[in-house]
Amino acid sequence: MKLLEERILSQGQAVNEHILKVDGFINHQVDPLLMGEIGREFARHFRGQGITKVATIESSGIAPAVFTALELSVPLLILKKQPSKVLNTDLYQTQVTSFTKGTSYELTLSQKFVSDQDHVLIIDDFLANGEAATGAIRLLRLAHATIAGLGIVIEKSFQPGRGKLLEQGIHVYSLARIARMGENFIEFVEE
Ligand code: 5GP
């Protein structure tokens, strides 16, 4: 998505060759006009596949996911991060390791909001090692929901996430794919 790539080049900051900061327009201060375009693009790509819900992982996936859910006119499920296992029989839970923080958390979903009738599109801001997305898929499959695909705003293609998801048979659609980056440069995958 040209518009997104231009914003990443003008306002993104590669902290080092692994971490990209986009907190001026995606995950701290949010540009609603750009998010509107992102939601429309995900909806255009995934429309007509019988999607019943959009799901994301709190918190930075919420902005792109809400605009996508709005475009598809379906509810948004926010998968919650909890520090440790909560003993509650009404919840699905699975453990995920965070790439940015190097910590683990329990991804949690209330049983009442998902069923075997759901066909779910997962949206997230970044794809790095694919742990968050794999956790979301595991959690939704505990509820016997089916997965329509994964929509990613920024994929760091030099990390193993995409490969891991493709191995699981998941369709991945990323709006910007970074081939490599460093302190003064960001290069996109040529498609
Ligand atoms: P993964 O589980 O794919 O390794 O990491 C996905 C999550 O880590 C994303 O939801 C995002 O919140 C965070 N993340 C991964 N890489 C980056 C990055 O370069 N910059 C930022 N801001 N967040 C990242």
- Rounded distance from Cα 100 to ligand 1 centre (Å): 6
- Tell whether 14 is covered by a domain: no
Tens of pLDDT along 96-116?
A: 987 667 789 999 999 999 999
Compute the distance from residue 6 Cα to the ligand 1 centre, in Å: 20
Q: Is 187 a domain residue? A: no
The SS3 assignment for 175 reads strand
Q: With both helix axes pointing from N to C terminus, report the angle between 32-46 and 62-72 in degrees, rounded to the nearest 10.
A: 50
User: Which domain, by its residues, includes 153?
Assistant: 35-176
Write down the H helix ranges in the chain.
2-11, 32-46, 62-72, 131-142, 161-167
Q: Is the CB of 186 under 6 A from ligand 1?
A: no
Does residue 186 form part of some domain?
Answer: no
Question: In this structure, what are the phi and psi dihedrals at residue 74, rounded to the nearest 5 degrees?
Answer: -130, 160
Q: Does residue 19 line the site of ligand 1, with CB under 6 A?
A: yes
**Within a domain: 67:** yes
Q: Looking at the domain assignment, is residue 74 inside a domain?
A: yes
pLDDT of residue 84: 67
In a domain, 61, yes or no: yes
Measured in Å, residue 43 CA sits from the centre of ligand 1 at 22
Predicted confidence at residue 101, as pLDDT, reads 73
Pocket test for ligand 1, best of 94, 100, 137 (most atoms within 8 A of CB): 100
Rounded to the nearest 5°, which phi and psi values hold at 100? -75, -35
pLDDT attached to residue 100: 65
Please give the pLDDT value at position 48: 97
Enumerate residue ranges in the chain where pLDDT < 50. none
- Atom of ligand 1 minimally distant from the CA of 127: 3
Long-range interactions of 110-114: CB distance < 8 A, separation 24+: 111/143, 113/75, 113/77, 114/53, 114/77, 114/140, 114/143, 114/145
Q: What pLDDT score does 103 carry?
A: 86
Predicted structure pTM score: 0.96
Quote the number of domains for the chain. Answer: 1
Q: Is residue 47 part of a domain?
A: yes
* In-domain check, residue 13: no
The CATH number of whichever domain residue 90 belongs to comes to: 3.40.50.2020
pLDDT at 82: 84
